[in-house]
Structure 1
Amino acid sequence: MTAPAPLFTLTPGRTPLLIDVPHAGLGLSPGLEARLTDGGRRLTDTDWHVEKLYAFAAESGVGLMVASHSRYVVDLNRDPAGKALYPGADNTEICPTRGFDNAPLYRDGETPDAAEVAQRVAGYWRPYHERLAAELAAIQARHGYAILLDGHSIAAEVPRFFEGRLPDLNLGSNDGRSCAPELGTLAYGILSASDRFSHIYNGRFKGGYITRTYGRPGEGFHALQLEMARDCYMDEGDLPHWDAGKAAPLVALLKRLVDGLLSWRPA
């Protein structure tokens, strides 16, 4: 595989809401596949099919931005300066060298050096963030405010980072700092009203670099991260396979969430 062109797709919307999906891409930079271990080439830590879960966005007038390259190239939800999201915990790098299973992603002697990491940040990370920032600024200019929903998924159990099984739906607002409090309460109220999926607000996942950077409610920018356990919408034993029937209940809930976000207006 080679790096896809463009590095992302953006379908602009006509509402104050933009959904971005930074980790569903499968593209690799030139020559990278040969440097990865057999496990690394499986791209297991991809946010599989999240862009499909939000495919309804266009019919709701909601913008959708989806990265095309793998998080193994560069992680769009990490600080390029290497600042840890969760100080004192096990954190992944901007160019990951270990998978979520803690196994090495690169063959011996093939891990990227500092110069290569800087090149990947310049070639992949920066263009994505420049376009995301520009789209949010345009939305805020049109509507007076902008809402970003940062969409993710993860294996239901990842012992490297936490014990036991994750809740199905993990909503984060950087402990209430990335959006107006009433918007976070509204969003969590919609998710927690479902008796099909377990849920938590500002638990282990409080929001990554994207939520923390673009969520500036005092300036009219509101951001939420939603991390979903993969097994609540797919078979984790068959990651590449998309099962629309299994995903349908979650898609219905995400539609209700989007409708709720669109109904909100800042005070």
Structure 2
Amino acid sequence: MDNVLSFTRGRVPLLISMPHPGTRLTPAVEAGLVDEARELADTDWHIPRLYDFAGELGASVLAAQYSRYVIDLNRPADDKPLYATATTGLYPETLFDGRPLYREGMTPSKEERARYLAEVWTPYHRTLADELERIRAEFGYALLWDAHSIRSQIPHLFEGRLPDFNLGTNAGASCDPELAARLEAVCGKAESYSHVLNGRFKGGHITRHYGQPQRNVHAVQLELSQRNYMDESAPFAYREGLAAPTREVIRALLETLLAWGQERYGR
């Protein structure tokens, strides 16, 4: 399998991970999908575009090219559940709304899925881990921002409407509490938006596994409500009028992240 990820190395101690914007499908997955799944509704649409200012900040950027329907890069390799509530696994078999993802008898084989683990999941995580270690070796610390988005209303996963900005730090375990407080303060100043820290989305495998403050690696997940930058129904159009002010808040969050690191570590 080729073109499984895109990666740009930056010049500051920040890596932005984007595990779910991909739309590529393998032949086995594409052949088995139910008609309702073919629009790829559960994609983190337009995330690379929303964060296209990352180069100006000097951040490293890692983005997946394959759909989460092939393999979910934000789940552990052993597929251990991350949430007690409804969720999807390493190899999703349902849509976010709970409907089956595949036609009966058409799920990819065990051997096919083992290939996805080896050729999609592993390269992404190897790149992520290597870049964090490179950053930590150069600066003495590393900052990881895991960038996600999701529809604002999915009754199968959560009640009501999701807050606009959902920050996750694995209930405080993946980053310094002072950093989390500063990020929450940025959201608090964005009066047009709602926010929550460690609400429904506390961070998936990437945040939980790589966030190790004791090793000076601090990880934060942002689950952004898609109503703030795009149409939430097909064809999922990007809406610049909504996106522009949302991008400013995201940029302020990342600038705060970098400023905290410089203040804390002196570089």
Give the stretch that moved more between structures: 184-193 or 42-51: 184-193
8 A contact 1:190–1:256 mirrored in 2: yes
Which one of 4, 7, 10 corresponds to residue 10 of structure 1?
7
**Structure-to-structure mapping, 1:122-137, within 5 angstroms:** 122-137=118-133
Which one of 74, 99, 107 corresponds to residue 111 of structure 1?
107
Match for residue 157 of structure 1? 153
Shift of 1:51: 1.3
Residue deviations 1:3-24 (CA, integer Å, cap 9, x gap): 6x32111111100111111000
Which one of 239, 242, 255 corresponds to residue 243 of structure 1?
239
1:231 and 1:165 map into 2 onto residues whose CA distance is: 10
Shift of 1:184: 1.0
Shift of 1:151: 0.4
Give the stretch that moved more between structures: 187-196 or 144-153: 187-196
Percentage of matched positions with identical amino acids: 47
Match for residue 92 of structure 2? 96
Q: Secondary structure at the match of 1:55?
A: coil
Letter in 2 for 1:176: G
Correspondence 1:84 to 2:81: yes
1:180 and 1:170 map into 2 onto residues whose CA distance is: 17
If the length of structure 2 is used for normalisation, what is the TM-score? 0.95
Correspondence 1:56 to 2:58: no
Letter in 1 for 2:165: L
- Gaps of at least 5 residues in structure 2 are none
Letter in 2 for 1:247: A
- Gaps of at least 5 residues in structure 1 are none
Q: Which runs of 4+ in 1 moved over 3 A?
A: none
8 A contact 1:48–1:239 mirrored in 2: no
Letter in 1 for 2:31: A
Which one of 250, 256, 264 corresponds to residue 254 of structure 1?
250
1:90 and 1:240 map into 2 onto residues whose CA distance is: 24
Match for residue 38 of structure 1? 35
Over the aligned positions, Cα root-mean-square deviation in angstroms equals 1.3
Aligned residues, how many? 263
If the length of structure 1 is used for normalisation, what is the TM-score? 0.95
Q: Secondary structure at the match of 2:202?
A: coil
Shift of 1:91: 2.4
1:229 and 1:239 map into 2 onto residues whose CA distance is: 17
